[in-house]
Amino acid sequence: MGSIRFEHVYKRFGDFTALTDLNLHIEDQEFLVLVGPSGCGKTTALRCLAGLEEISQGAIYLGDRMVNHLPPKDRDIAMVFQSYALYPHMSVYDNLAFSLRLRSRTSLVRKLLALGFHRAAYHRIKATEADIDRRVRNAAAILDIEHLLGRKPKVLSGGQRQRVALGRAMVRNPRVFLMDEPLSNLDAKLRVQTRTEISKLHQRLKTTFIYVTHDQTEAMTMGSRIAVMRDGVVQQLDVPQRLYDHPSNQFVAGFIGSPAMNFFEAQVSRTEEGWWFHIPNLFTLPIPAEKAAPLGAYAGETVIFGIRPEDLHDPQHLPAGVNTEVRIRATVEVMERMGSEIYVYFEKGGREFVGRFDPRVTLQRGDQVEAVIDMEKMHAFDRTTGEAIATRA
């Protein structure tokens, strides 16, 4: 079984606490992504699981076995590092075979000694080498690096080196794969390609994967579940779509999504016409009746109103079903044309915010434009705690 449990795990480096009461249950064959900004503790969690760091408190289980004091070599875990960590003097074949040979000690010297002095030992080593060769070539075929087996790492591209690093982990048939930002050294095109390869690899091997990244796009596209971390604490653990639609707090809402969610301090008020967000010097926005109930306790108080860029629309190019009644006016500051969409950065009252518009819009810097806000997709957060106020169905 490749299931994993972190139970109340703490990791301290002197006075600094890198992990605080970490509780995670990762199912067998799951693809879990740990995501968060630099320094949030995601790599530390990976290293503690691998046995490269000793935890300060709590327990880590692989299956039903607690592995707190088990050395790394006995945990049946393979780790892929950001820096590839290939042996430069070895061929690709020997890099892939190294860990298997080390485990079985089938070195060339040992084979020669066995051949000269102990024929039975020689035949056992020969059989082991045949198994190693089969596993190496099988991994190379899966990763499409068969033609590279005779080359040294220095003549390989970044993507090829990354596939070799993946292959070196694969040949061991581990219970768990750990990947620490393996795509961060690749260019954008190769990153997308390798991301797809890793997802296919997980489906083929049916093994537990734990993947660390600071790139929320990688997290959303690869993970069966995502754990968003901040300052050593898991902020939210959920499937990607629910994490996107129902962030548990303002940090998660701002971290997941690109460009990030727009946030405004807004006073909640009620009139005979209904409930409203009043954003000083900017807008007064009607709160949909079905979303007003959770905000009733905040009447007269200030909350954080959030709206994603993709929920701001050009009136002439509206998705089906969007209510066109709620509109705002602002000045265009910057436009980023992405081909399939345009990021339009607005300014009003000294505040900037961004919308993702249809690429057919024709705007120029300085234009005064009107945008439709889809208030059915609004978010609201407690200004003091940052916790979400449940406004979405």
Q: Going from the N-terminus, what domains does the chain have, and what CATH number goes with each?
A: 28-54+66-250 (3.40.50.300), 259-389 (2.40.50.140)
Predicted local confidence at residue 239, as pLDDT = 96
Residue 116 has pLDDT above 70, yes or no: no
Spatial CA neighbour of 233 closest among 41, 387, 48: 41
Q: Are strands 302-307 and 379-382 parallel, antiparallel or unpaired?
A: antiparallel
Pick 171 or 25 by higher pLDDT. Answer: 25
Residue 343 has pLDDT above 90, yes or no: yes
Who's near 203: CB < 8 A, 6+ residues apart? none
**pLDDT band for position 45 (50/70/90)?**
very high
**pLDDT band for position 1 (50/70/90)?**
low
With contact defined as beta carbons under 8 Å apart, do 311 and 377 qualify?
yes
- What one-letter code names the amino acid at 107? S
- What one-letter code names the amino acid at 287? I
Pick 108 or 201 by higher pLDDT. Answer: 201
Query: DSSP characters for 312-359?
Result: EE-TTSPPTT---S-EEEEEEEEEEE-SS-EEEEEEETTEEEEEEE-T
Count of residues making up the chain: 393
Predicted local confidence at residue 104, as pLDDT = 62
Sign of CA dihedral 96, 163, 27, 226: positive
pTM of the model: 0.85
Listed ranges 15-19, 94-98, 160-164, 272-276; the one with the highest mean pLDDT:
15-19
101 φ, ψ to 5°?
A: -65, -40
Predicted local confidence at residue 238, as pLDDT = 95
Residue pointed to by tokens 């935890």 = 55
Predicted local confidence at residue 267, as pLDDT = 95
pLDDT tens profile 216-230: 889 999 999 999 999
In Å, what is the CA distance from 332 to each residue of 308, 337, 370?
A: 17, 14, 10
Predicted local confidence at residue 391, as pLDDT = 64
Question: Tell me, what DSSP letter sits at residue 26?
Answer: E
**pLDDT band for position 254 (50/70/90)?**
very high
Residue 98 has pLDDT above 90, yes or no: no
pLDDT tens profile 205-218: 889 999 999 888 89
Q: Taking all residues of the chain, what is their mean pLDDT, rounded to a whole number?
A: 87
Predicted local confidence at residue 262, as pLDDT = 96
Residue 193 has pLDDT above 60, yes or no: yes
Mean pLDDT of 339-364: 90
**pLDDT band for position 122 (50/70/90)?**
very low
Residue pointed to by tokens 């024709």 = 362
Spatial CA neighbour of 40 closest among 236, 188, 183: 236
With contact defined as beta carbons under 8 Å apart, do 74 and 66 qualify?
no
Residue 82 has pLDDT above 70, yes or no: yes
Q: What is the 3-state secondary structure (H, E, C) of 77-132?
A: EEEECCCCCCCCCCCHHHHHHHHHHHHHCCCHHHHHHHHHHCHHHHHHHHHHHHHH
Mean pLDDT of 319-327: 79
pLDDT tens profile 236-249: 999 999 999 999 99
Mean pLDDT of 306-312: 94
Predicted local confidence at residue 125, as pLDDT = 47
